[in-house]
């Protein structure tokens, strides 16, 4: 008998991790956070997520061939996000369902995500969102969104646009890189920087509006670009970046009552 019943019908195997606990105040998850494993060996990544010594886990692992393993029941708080925040919340593990996507990541040549793997991620996410209607599209996020100073995953190669076409996540077509408007960069100061910081914080990123384009701002802009304007990830708020951000704010889903 498996240690628990899978939450999704497309789960091919249960490999239980001990690294989970109760969600704070019993809250239901209202967020999905996508990661990559960042290890060269996929089995070693699964082993680490299921090792008590590692103190990390996720609810699901999606392999390159589309196989999906569940490690933690969705009702439990898996330890996947680490020190992180979004929209003022800091216990992202209590708020979220974590999905690890097998990919070596930026430290190991960062290969493209196979189509079969992305199809599995889409099917898995569609099931989660169907079961958990409280998860808004703008709360399907990257690990780099909630922990921009520490993480890059799943990175600029992850096809968020394809997920959006299947009804997963909040997405707009990125504004063209060829836009020739003004840009903000590290060292800049003033009202335009303050507005940029307020827009990023208003969307959910953990950023203080100081009016100075400091290192924290550069890091958050780069995280935003990885997810929403992946054509160039440089931490500089060019017109393409700010136009894309404004479009996301204007089309953001209305919060549930």
DSSP H helical segments within 50-205, as ranges? Answer: 92-95, 115-131, 143-146, 160-165, 191-203
Residue with tokens 């009804």: 167
Structure tokens at 49: 């997520």
Q: Are 62 and 122 in contact, with CB atoms under 8 Å apart?
A: no
The maximal CA–CA distance of the chain, rounded, in angstroms, is 62
Active site residues: 100
Q: Are 148 and 220 in contact, with CB atoms under 8 Å apart?
A: yes
| First CA to last CA distance, the chain | 40
Say whether 15 sits in a helix, a strand or coil: coil
């Amino acid at each position: 008998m498996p240690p628990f019943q899978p939450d999704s019908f497309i789960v091919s195997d249960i490999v239980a991790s001990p690294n989970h606990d109760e969600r704070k105040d019993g809250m239901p998850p209202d967020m999905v956070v996508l990661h990559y494993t960042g290890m060269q060996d996929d089995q070693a990544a699964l082993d680490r997520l299921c090792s008590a010594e590692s103190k990390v886990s996720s609810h699901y692992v999606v392999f390159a061939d589309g196989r999906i393993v569940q490690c933690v029941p969705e009702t439990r708080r898996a330890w996947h996000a680490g020190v992180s925040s979004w929209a003022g919340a800091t216990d992202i593990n209590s708020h979220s369902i974590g999905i690890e996507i097998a990919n070596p990541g930026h430290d190991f040549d960062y290969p493209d995500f196979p189509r079969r793997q992305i199809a599995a991620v889409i099917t898995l996410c569609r099931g989660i969102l169907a079961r958990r209607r409280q998860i808004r599209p703008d709360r399907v996020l990257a690990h780099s969104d909630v922990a921009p100073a520490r993480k890059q995953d799943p990175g600029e190669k992850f096809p968020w646009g394809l997920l959006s076409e299947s009804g997963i996540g909040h997405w707009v077509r990125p504004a063209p890189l060829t836009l020739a408007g003004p840009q903000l960069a590290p060292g800049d100061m003033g009202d335009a920087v303050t507005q940029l910081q307020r827009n990023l914080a208003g969307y959910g990123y953990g950023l203080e509006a100081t009016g100075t384009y400091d290192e924290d701002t550069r890091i958050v802009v780069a995280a935003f670009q990885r997810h929403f304007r992946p054509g160039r990830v440089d931490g500089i708020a060019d017109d393409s970046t700010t136009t894309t951000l404004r479009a996301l704010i204007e089309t953001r889903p209305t919060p549930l009552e």
